[in-house]
Homo-oligomer: A and B are copies of this chain.
Amino acid sequence: MDQSSPRNTSVTVADVAHKAGVSKATAARALGGYGTVSDRVREAVTAAARELDYRPNELARSMTTGRSGTIGVVVGDIENPFFSLAVRGITDVARQAGFTVILINSGEDFVAERAAIGTLLAKRVDGLIVSPAKENDVEHLHEAVRSGLPLALLDRGSDTLDVDTVIADDRHAAENITRRLIALGHSRIAYLTACDTPDHRFRTAKDIGTGSVRRRIEGFLGVCREAGMIGTEDWVHVGAITPEHTQRIVTEMLQSAQPPTAIIASDSIIGLEVFKVHRRLGLSIPDDLSLVSFHDADWTSVTTPPVTVVRQPVYDLGATAAKLLVERLNGEAQTPRKVVLKNEIVERASTREARF
């Protein structure tokens, strides 16, 4: 798939010295930032290094083994318990295999994610595990793969990246919970996600850059369509990116002339805000509103009523991604593998028959 392009790891200090027309010792001083080097020489060496895409080899260990013993991980939001639990799965497996995990938070921001990948490449990690913020903006990941760095995708795949990928069956889980809500008589079901569109309105699932969420929305819309419901797209709300945004969206929704009788929260941070708002508005879950949240977050079992959730295999998503990456680093893997793990519905007490 990715053609083996010339690796920049083969570029040595000697190559840089040769190109800059200086001795190896001088180039090493300039590159290492120690000793005395004139400005002119430093510039020549810097230019040569840049042109050759030289990357400093920083560790004695990496000189002898070719490895730094680190796995770089880029996740969307480490404050989301989904990701912190997945990172534990990654770390447990990586540590067992002798790797240290270094983590960068992208804040679900594509530009920050790209910078993070750049930093991790420069830090010479041995492999990468990434949850791409946007499945279709992955040129920086292609670049990493072209540079020869093993990559595993976590929770979100990409059609254009043929690499080890571990996701959950999000579409199926969304179909399941939507069917249950419809069976309970709900026809005004809102789906609420942090993913956003340029004008903060939802039109089609294609506009949702985060693959896991897009698959859930496709599942939700598909089941609603099957059930003969129309205009369901209007019930998908995007842009719940902070608790304040979520509170505003949920308050407006619940105070509108046609409030939803059920809400599906795309993550537990959103679910928590729905719970807070319904209390503030003096509503009752499940009497006035049914709630189902993705992610079996710790708080969902201690509220009154406890919340029905999609229990995602979060720890296993992380652990499996790390396992695939470690196998690849150890030369035990050939073709890229795609693993789909099962979600599970945990019925608690936050849903009931719709009241008309």
Contacts and interface: CB of A to CB of B under 8 A. Distances in A.
Interface residues of A, number: 68
A116 B100 contact: yes
Nearest to A303: B302
Nearest to A61: B122
Interface string A54-67: 11111111111010
A139 interface: yes
A332 interface: no
A270 to B, nearest CB: 12
B101 A101 contact: no
A1 interface: yes
Nearest to A8: B114
Task: Count chain B CB atoms within 10 A of each CB in A64, A84, A139, A304 and give the residue with the most.
Answer: A84
B279 A115 contact: no
Oligomer copy total: 2
Task: Count chain B CB atoms within 10 A of each CB in A31, A78, A87, A160 and give the residue with the most.
Answer: A78
Interface string A264-290: 000001001001100100000000000
A323 to B, nearest CB: 18
A58 B103 contact: no
Contacts of A275: 302
A281 B123 CA distance: 51
Interface in A9-64: 30-31, 33, 42, 46, 49-50, 54-64
Contacts of A81: 79, 81
A91 interface: yes
A303 B303 contact: yes
Contact of A54 (B59, B100, B269): B59
Interface of A: 1-2, 5, 30-31, 33, 42, 46, 49-50, 54-64, 66, 68-70, 78-79, 81, 84-85, 87-88, 91, 95, 100-105, 107, 111-112, 114-116, 118-120, 122-124, 139, 142, 146, 160, 269, 272, 275-276, 279, 297-299, 301-304
- 8 tightest Cβ-Cβ pairs between the two chains A and B: A299-B299, A304-B304, A103-B103, A79-B84, A58-B122, A123-B123, A2-B142, A100-B119
